[in-house]
Amino acid sequence: MNFRDMQLSITLLTLFSIHVVDEGYALNPSCSCIRFTSSHGKTRGTFSSPDYPHPYPHSRCLLYTFLAQPHQIVEITFTEFDIYKEHLECTRGDYIKVYWEVQGPGPPGAINERSAWAKELCGSRADIPPSLYSPGPAMVLEFHAGVKQNNATGFLGTYSFIDKRLFETEGVRIQGTACDYQFSRSGNRPAHGRLYSPRYPSNYPNNVRCSYHFHARPKDRVKLVFEEISLQKGDVSCLRRADIIKVFDGNDTEGPTIAMLCNELTGYEVLSTGPYLLLQFTANSASPGQGFAATFHFQPPPDSTAADSDRLLKLSFGKAFESLGPEVSATTSSCHQEFNSDGSKHGTLTSPHYPLAYPSNTHCHYEFFGRGKERVRLIFQDFILYKPPDGSTDCTNVDSLQAFISVDGRLENVASFCGVNLPKPVMSNGPKLMMEFRGTQSSRQARGFKISYSFVENFGITTGRQLKEFPCAFVYNSSEAHNGTIASPNSPGAYPRDTECSYFFHGGQTEKVHLHFTHFDVEGVSPCEAVSASDYVEFSNYITEDSRYGRYCGQQKEFHVESERNFFKVTFRSNDRLDGTGFKAIYQFLEVSDEYQAPISDLGSSVIHSYLCLVLTTIISAYYHLCN
């Protein structure tokens, strides 16, 4: 052991022996210390609780100390984890406390009596992060087993000392700032690179705001791909998050907001409309997450020449394109088409030879490339494919048209259409969409399809006034209209994935808001939480959460929701899993003293019937008997 290692050991053992009364910062003086260091060239190894895999003994305390080189950080991964959970917050009984606040005077890795723990761990493997990373060259785990007997088996883990220079942002830090960077495509600077939140892959600090400024050449665009975002767990609306990523389409916050990102997400992509892009990361919560890792690319507008289309498809959709089958052959290459919003914001797409029958063995790819906050929307005008005589409704191994989007960096089939039923509209979850048409059979009746496509920024929502401060937000003022309708994105088709939309209602001083939902199909299971991977709709009398209203999901019959004041907010949020056809609702601003009266002329016969049922009876069971 060299002198430096000996000095660190003496310092740590001395500090660990100090008894501190303050429970929030105390290190147990009876703890035994186990030390792992990279000083002798060992960069990885394993560790475990006493007696693992048998139950660990009670009334024990161990300190696992990991010391890396100054240019390294510590990575801890628990492959097995079973710590008896006596308290919800893991502060009593059995627990592991994670210490990594090693900044300040003294040798690297030294923890003093005022060092606060960063995390508390207990429970099962599902209750803890996949990996732990230190912000500096040291990490200490305090394993405490209480007096209560139990059969928990403890933990088995691996540690690694990794070079922290692997996580350096490849931009120029702006002088006088802590975490603002400039990225420009000039001189010999590369056309791509990486960027990270502060301290990544360790937790970012709280009370921080970082700005990442991107400046491409005049005709170039800026593309960001968020490989990983881990701010907070859960599926809470980004409007209620203290830690948030906002991406602006321009060189300052006055530009339109392309994306608002929070919670946890992978493989999310944004593309600017011009040469400027601004990413702003704000963290104000008391429980920081891991942050984000992203790549940036300065790229020219897509080349629309047919000869280059296969290259662009692979470039845009990655290796997943290869799983779609062989390249389009020379005999069918005319049906491989690209649609770029630079060329036109809308147009028409048809199958080969339409309105005549498409030839047999047809295989086509149709690619759509938007920019900024644009989404690709397809509306079917005609659709007749060859239908097998057996009348099967399964689109497997029959003539079909399939829609693909990018989810977590991979292509995912979100819709398959076959037969003769006219499909509902389709919308992408970002600026890209791909359609694949396979027409193996042919007949005179199978004339194919005709589709109207458009690159939209309003998510297919045609009512209200859209706000540029949010990716998808609409305002409804009683001064402009006392009643109207709202709908989910892409209604009446399936709503897009990874989408959050807000609807803000502003009435007069003596008004309230009444909503009558005539259609509701939002994928999820009550109580519509993240644990069940549910999409949801929620309501609030405030910009923040309102405990009066629970979340709504699933398939609901017609129902009413009413505000208590002149402001009302509706939030719709979808994840990257399954989807539904969303919702439709009628809104009306009412005087507080007024009773709600249905706008009969706007409802249609089915809704009128529902209101007649309500008038005839106030007993719920009778209502369902009459209406069903």
Cα(500)–Cα(158) distance, integer angstroms: 38
Cα(353)–Cα(439) distance, integer angstroms: 12
Q: Are 515 and 562 in contact (CB under 8 A)?
A: yes
Q: In the chain, how long is the greatest CA-to-CA distance?
A: 90
> What is the reported pLDDT for 328?
37
Confidence of residue 624 (pLDDT cuts 50, 70, 90): very low
Q: Which helix (H) or strand (E) holds 95?
A: strand 95-99
> What is the reported pLDDT for 303?
56
pTM: 0.81
Residue 593 has pLDDT above 90, yes or no: no
The residues, any chain, with a CB within 8 Å of residue 113's CB and separated by 6 or more, are 15, 18, 20, 25, 27
pLDDT in tens, 563-590: 999 999 999 999 988 899 999 999 999 9
Domains 3-164 and 168-299 share a fold: yes
CA angle 323, 327, 330 (to 5 degrees): 165
Mean pLDDT of the chain: 84
Give strand pairing partners of 448: 384
Assigned token pair, 165:
């220079």
Q: Where are the domains of the chain?
A: 3-164, 168-299, 331-388+395-455, 465-596, 598-628
Higher pLDDT, 313 or 81: 81
Give CA separation, 322 vs 143, 318, 411, 477, 570, in Å: 48, 8, 10, 50, 41
pLDDT in tens, 63-80: 999 999 999 999 999 999
> What is the reported pLDDT for 32?
83
Over residues 12-24, mean pLDDT = 30
Confidence of residue 408 (pLDDT cuts 50, 70, 90): confident
Residue 562 has pLDDT above 90, yes or no: yes
> What is the reported pLDDT for 596?
56
Confidence of residue 609 (pLDDT cuts 50, 70, 90): very low
Give CA separation, 611 vs 8, 512, 558, 605, 615, in Å: 77, 21, 10, 10, 6
Residue 435 has pLDDT above 70, yes or no: yes
The residues, any chain, with a CB within 8 Å of residue 223's CB and separated by 6 or more, are 269, 270, 271, 272, 296, 297, 299
Cα(337)–Cα(352) distance, integer angstroms: 11
Over residues 86-115, mean pLDDT = 70
Residue 499 has pLDDT above 60, yes or no: yes
Residue 18 has pLDDT above 60, yes or no: no
Residue with tokens 């992408």: 428
Residue 537 has pLDDT above 80, yes or no: yes
Domain 168-299: give its CATH architecture. Answer: Sandwich (2.60)
β-pairing, 181-184 with 243-248?
unpaired
Cα(451)–Cα(384) distance, integer angstroms: 12
> What is the reported pLDDT for 410?
82
Least confident of 212-226, 325-339, 349-363: 325-339
> What is the reported pLDDT for 518?
97
With a pLDDT cut of 90, the percent of the chain lying above it is 65
> What is the reported pLDDT for 327?
39
pLDDT in tens, 440-492: 887 778 999 999 999 999 999 999 999 999 999 999 999 999 999 999 999 99
**Domain 331-388+395-455 belongs in CATH node 3.40.50.20:** no
Over residues 381-395, mean pLDDT = 84
> What is the reported pLDDT for 110?
54
Cα(257)–Cα(524) distance, integer angstroms: 28
Over residues 512-518, mean pLDDT = 97
Over residues 430-445, mean pLDDT = 89
CATH code for the structural domain at 3-164: 2.60.120.290
What is the rounded end-to-end Cα distance, in angstroms, of the chain?
82
Over residues 370-381, mean pLDDT = 96
Cα 542 to chain centroid distance, Å, stands at 24
> What is the reported pLDDT for 432?
93
pLDDT in tens, 145-177: 999 989 999 999 999 999 999 999 999 999 999
Cα(396)–Cα(392) distance, integer angstroms: 10
Assigned token pair, 396:
């497997």
Confidence of residue 101 (pLDDT cuts 50, 70, 90): low
Cα(300)–Cα(181) distance, integer angstroms: 22
- Among 3.30.428.10, 2.60.120.290, 3.10.200.10, 2.60.40.10, what is the CATH number of 465-596? 2.60.120.290
Over residues 204-213, mean pLDDT = 95
Residue type, 276: Y
> What is the reported pLDDT for 598?
52
> What is the reported pLDDT for 113?
53
Over residues 431-435, mean pLDDT = 94
